[in-house]
Structure 1
Amino acid sequence: MGKAVRDDLHGLEISQKELQKLTNLPVKDELIIIINPLKEIVKKTVEKIKGSEGATVIFLGFSTFVFSYLVFDIIIRLFATWVTVPSWILLIILCFWGGGVTQILLYVWWKKRLEILKNNLTNSLQILLHDVDRYNAVIKAIDINDQIEEAGNPGVSIKERERVIEALQLTKTDLVRALKTERILRENKNFILRNTELFDNNLATLTAMQVTEQATEHGRLLNEALQIALDVQYEMKRLQNQS
């Protein structure tokens, strides 16, 4: 999203953090490359150096580096007298070694989270995640359009913007409801499987709701939530037939 995003778009996007909270799964998790956070730190440091606090930043950074090196050198001299390599070379080696080990641990952790996602990724959740991507893409498109308009192109302004934003708000509400429903059904699948008779009436009620809502755009994602319930019901019956 652009830095100058308009107020009515704030809070509409479904972020990765929110998506992971709603699904309780590591959705869209990316492998952390340790060099990237370092690049970000260097970038911010350079920006500060170019600013009014440049001298202070340089002084603090240099002082921290020298102090850290002196402490490391003293520790080596006191507790590792057998080391013949100069302490500054040893420090560089340890930094590279530590970085490599950290990256390997991050990779193993990432692969483990991917496995968790793979084992819990239902067809219904895949559909909903695809809908979330489409929904976020619409918001991104509106934001880019706003930036083009603010650059001096009033002819590209979105007509009936309030209605568009209201429709997006309703869509987000339905998406969140559907994601919550999917999570509840997924995490309680074993209980539902053992007590299918308890949920028959609820599904009948939801089906009736679908008939009244199916003609409206607002009801489209409500129907998606219903489809999740029906998919689970079908899966439960299929599993029962196999047992």
Structure 2
Amino acid sequence: MFHEDLITVRDDLKGLDISLSELQYLTNLPVNDELVIIINPIKQTLQSFIQKAKGPEGATTIFLVITILVVIYLVFDILAKSLIIGTFIPSWILLIAFVGVGAAITQLILYLIWKQKKKLVKTNITPSLEMLLIDVDRYNAVIKAIDINDQIEAAGNLGVTIKERSKVIEALQLTKADLIRALKTERILRENRKFIISNSELFMNNLATLTAMQVPEQASEHGKLLNEALQIALDVQHEMRRLQNQH
């Protein structure tokens, strides 16, 4: 979620977000899965190469890349001449065609896998899970907003400092715990539709503690963040109650 290119993420935010892999593990569904476009990693590789080429070890980087490309071409040339007899097509054209066809086939396979995952999610998703996924997005957005604010502050803008930051982080920790509990409960109920949950501790949440932390200063930055966390927690509690009523 975070980008640490310019400014390091503060320790109290690290691991506070709910990552895609964690979300998919909690739901046991490939939710929010995006189609992999193979051109994107190629672009990232090229950008990384350009950055390294501009650095102090640029000459070494360029030499290594050229060496790798030459070796790949020579190996392909030998294989092409030994396997494809009687062709007058230059090896470099065959290599480009091979890479193009391979990329197209790979992209098709990735697309089919992605479509299958989308179908699986559409078949198994419940209204409660849809709402919880929205709450997770909102929760992660709050953390991202704090991270951006931290970067602005670190750039020298001390006037944007979040007051009572520890309270905000504590509220987010409580909210994350409730979200994870709700996602686990939803999964159990979804995968065991005829099973009545007997573990009452799954339905206990930290709402009372979180409500006690709500501050009256609605206009303050930390007040807004606390109240946003509270609203997410209220939504989670609502979904938990609806889950209980459905089973």
3-state DSSP of counterpart to 2:118: helix
Equivalent residues in 2 for 1:129-140, closer than 5 Å = 129-140=133-144
In 2, Cα distance between equivalents of 1:171 and 1:19 = 15
Q: Is the 8 A contact 1:22 1:179 kept in 2?
A: yes
In 2, Cα distance between equivalents of 1:164 and 1:180 = 24
The structure-2 alpha-carbon separation of the partners of 1:215 and 1:21, relative to structure 1 and needing over 3 Å to count, comes to closer
Tell me which of 56, 59, 62 is aligned to 1:58: 62
- 1:215 shift after superposition: 9.6
Equivalent residues in 2 for 1:114-129, closer than 5 Å = 114-129=118-133
Q: State yes or no: 1:225 paired with 2:205.
A: no
Equivalent residues in 2 for 1:91-110, closer than 5 Å = 91-110=95-114
- 1:27 shift after superposition: 1.1
The structure-2 alpha-carbon separation of the partners of 1:129 and 1:73, relative to structure 1 and needing over 3 Å to count, comes to same
Q: State yes or no: 1:184 paired with 2:199.
A: no
Q: Is the 8 A contact 2:181 2:202 kept in 1?
A: no
Tell me whether 148-157 or 96-105 shows the greater mean CA deviation: 148-157
- 1:230 shift after superposition: 2.2
Q: Is the 8 A contact 1:2 1:144 kept in 2?
A: no
- 1:61 shift after superposition: 1.1
Q: Is the 8 A contact 1:146 1:157 kept in 2?
A: yes
Equivalent residues in 2 for 1:1-243, closer than 5 Å = 1-3=2-4, 4-189=8-193, 191-192=194-195, 199=197, 216=211, 217=230, 220=234, 221-231=236-246, 233=247
TM-score (ref. length: structure 2): 0.81
Amino acid at match of 1:48: K
In 1, Cα distance between equivalents of 2:107 and 2:199 = 49
3-state DSSP of counterpart to 1:8: coil
Gaps of 5+ in 2: 212-229
Amino acid at match of 2:9: V
Amino acid at match of 2:239: E
- 1:161 shift after superposition: 1.0
- 1:153 shift after superposition: 2.2
Equivalences, count: 222
Which residue is equivalent to 1:238?
Answer: none
In 1, Cα distance between equivalents of 2:40 and 2:210 = 48
Which residue is equivalent to 1:237?
Answer: none
In 2, Cα distance between equivalents of 1:35 and 1:84 = 30
**Larger Rg belongs to:** 1
Amino acid at match of 2:95: L
Q: Looking at secondary structure, tell me which structure has more helix per residue.
A: 1
